[in-house]
Structure 1
Amino acid sequence: MSFFTFLEEKAAEMLFQMLFLAMVIFLLVFYGVDKIFIVLLAVFFIGIQGIFQGYLYRKAIRAARSVIDLADSSEESYYISEILPKPKEIQNKAYYYALKKACKSMNDKIGKITEEKQEYQEYIESFAHEIKIPIGALSLTFDNAKNYTLKKETDKMFQLVEQMLYYARSEDTEKDYFVKPLNLEDVVHNVLLKFRHAFMEKKTVVDVRDIGHVIYTDEKWLTFILSQVMQNAIKYFNKQENRLTIFSQAKETQLRLVIEDNGCGIKSSDLPRVFEKGFTGSDRKKNNATGMGLYLSKKLCDRLGLEMKVASVENEYTRVTLIFPKGTMHRLSESAVHTGING
């Protein structure tokens, strides 16, 4: 707010003061007071009034700035009425009262929505857990009967239900994950084993090398992330000889796990959007595509402190890189291993 805008708001008050000054000048002239004295008095009055209004303007600006800073620094702005200083002016008290009423109404509504969301999430999790049991039993039955066509369909059902479960939990990962040392090779091979029939059906050559490292993360979440990446690779294989290559690159501060397929690849214009919710690409085949796999994987990686990158050349390859940071726990582990070997 400019100073002139501030003065416009004070127009009525200043008009009254000018009328008062005019009346005083009229009386002084009427009683024959020296004109120089009258002029000096008028200049003095106007000067004092200008200084006083300038002081009030700066005070109002400071007060407004403190409120703005308070609002900007608050992560949950709907609680702003609880931390704002209570005003002294009558009109501002009315605004303050209206703001508190509005915030209370909104907070009540947010609380109700949060409670309903929590109940719905618990129902979805319960349903997913219950439905996975009969689907798993069907898959095992078809596996024993060597009916791989029906097993493939039940496995798809299982994967979709699992994706739904992890989506429901993705906002509260801190309540559901447990970080511990893992053998990366074991985790990768367990995931590959899950998709062995799909790899055989697609006549896929799987090349795994240099992944004998210990990492620190949650096993369930990492298994889910790797499953989503491999599902995508299988889904978009389109060569006579399909190939999946998995290897790691150990660096001083991080460990990179690279998963590369020689499928149809991703258009360069689509690459910036691969982590968007529901994005399935503009040209890729959309059979069974939900656009949720990479979205969820990236979201979970962010929550677990991992980094996920995707590089691709259309009709050549897609390369997904998971980056595990090496922290104090990793250095201590490596130190212990070296000590044991030397001993």
Structure 2
Amino acid sequence: MSFFTFLEEKITEILFQLFFLALVAFLLIFYGVDMLFVVLLVILFISIQGLFQWCLYRKKRNVSQHIIDLVDGLEETYYIADVLPKPKEFQNEAYYYALKKACKSMNDEIGKITEEKQDYQEYVESFVHEIKIPIGALSLTFDNTKNYTLKKETDKIFQLVEQMLYYARSENTEKDYFVKQLQLDEVIHNVILKFRHSLMERKTIINIHDIENVIYTDEKWLTFILSQIVQNAIKYFDKQENKLTIYSQDNGTNILLVIEDNGCGIKAS
């Protein structure tokens, strides 16, 4: 807020003071006081009043900037009512009270939503772990009976369930993330084995090379991401001769993994 904007808010007070000053000046002149003395008195009053208003403006601007800095420094700005200094002005106390009530109501609502979300996430995780047991039993049965059609469909169900679990955990990866040393080729081969029946059914030509690298990451999450990529590649194969190429590049400070397929792709438009 500029100084002139600040003065506009106090226009009524300033006009009253100017009216009072003019009245005093008129009375002094009426009673024969020297004109020069009256003019100097008016100039002195206006100067002192201007200086006072400027100091008051600077003080209020510093208070406002302090509040802005408090807000900018908070990660959860809905806690601002708890750190704001309580105002002394009568009108501002009402605004402060309204802000406190609004923030408390909002924080209560956030707490309720967070608790409901946590309960739902725990239910999803519990459901996934429970449903994996019968899915695994079906998959093993179809594998033993060499019924690869049903085996493939069972594997699809397993992948969808796995996907649901990872999406449910995606906002709290720090609780489910364990970085360790891995062989990149082993992780990739395990992913390819998971989709071997689908790849064989599509008569996919697989070209894997230059993946003998040591990497540091979370094995479960890397396997999940690679599984999603390979699953999508299989889904969108549309050629007589489908190809899947996987290789890596060692850039010194990082390992770049490249996965290419010759599926339908995405139109530039």
Instruction: Give the TM-score taking structure 2 as reference length.
Output: 0.96
Q: Paired residue for 2:109?
A: 109
Q: Paired residue for 2:153?
A: 153
In terms of fraction of residues, the more helix-rich structure is: 2
Bigger mean CA offset, 75-84 vs 6-15: 6-15
Q: Paired residue for 1:21?
A: 21
In 2, the alpha carbon distance for the partners of 1:255 and 1:153 equals 34
Unpaired segments of 5 or more residues in structure 1?
270-343
Query: Deviation string for 1:104-155 (max 9, x for gaps)?
Result: 1111110111011000100011111111111121122122222222222221
| % identical equivalent positions | 74
In 1, the alpha carbon distance for the partners of 2:176 and 2:251 equals 29
Larger radius of gyration: 2
User: Aligned residue pairs: how many?
Assistant: 269
In 1, the alpha carbon distance for the partners of 2:247 and 2:9 equals 70
C-alpha RMSD of matched pairs (Å): 1.3
Q: Paired residue for 2:265?
A: 265
State the shift of 1:66 in Å: 2.0
In 2, the alpha carbon distance for the partners of 1:236 and 1:117 equals 34
State the shift of 1:252 in Å: 1.3
- SS across alignment from 2:248: strand
Unpaired segments of 5 or more residues in structure 2?
none
Over 3 Å off, 4+ runs: none
- SS across alignment from 1:238: coil
Q: Paired residue for 1:53?
A: 53
Q: Which amino acid aligns with 1:74?
A: L
In 1, the alpha carbon distance for the partners of 2:189 and 2:148 equals 21
State the shift of 1:45 in Å: 0.8
In 2, the alpha carbon distance for the partners of 1:2 and 1:254 equals 52
In 1, the alpha carbon distance for the partners of 2:264 and 2:73 equals 47
Q: Which amino acid aligns with 1:180?
A: K
State the shift of 1:4 in Å: 2.4
- SS across alignment from 1:217: strand
State the shift of 1:170 in Å: 0.4
In 2, the alpha carbon distance for the partners of 1:256 and 1:167 equals 24
State the shift of 1:44 in Å: 1.3
Q: Paired residue for 1:295?
A: none
Query: Deviation string for 1:64-103 (max 9, x for gaps)?
Result: 2221222122111001111222222222222112111111
- SS across alignment from 2:256: strand
Q: Paired residue for 2:254?
A: 254
Q: Paired residue for 1:240?
A: 240
State the shift of 1:21 in Å: 1.3
Q: Which amino acid aligns with 1:38?
A: V
Q: Paired residue for 1:87?
A: 87
Counterpart check, 1:32 vs 2:1: no
- SS across alignment from 1:240: coil
Alignment of 1:170-189 (within 5 A): 170-189=170-189
Counterpart check, 1:206 vs 2:197: no
Q: Paired residue for 1:321?
A: none
In 2, the alpha carbon distance for the partners of 1:233 and 1:167 equals 20
Query: Deviation string for 1:273-326 (max 9, x for gaps)?
Result: xxxxxxxxxxxxxxxxxxxxxxxxxxxxxxxxxxxxxxxxxxxxxxxxxxxxxx
In 2, the alpha carbon distance for the partners of 1:177 and 1:42 equals 75
In 1, the alpha carbon distance for the partners of 2:249 and 2:116 equals 45
Query: Deviation string for 1:172-218 (max 9, x for gaps)?
Result: 11101211111111111011000000000000011111111111111
Q: Which amino acid aligns with 1:41?
A: L
In 1, the alpha carbon distance for the partners of 2:227 and 2:47 equals 77
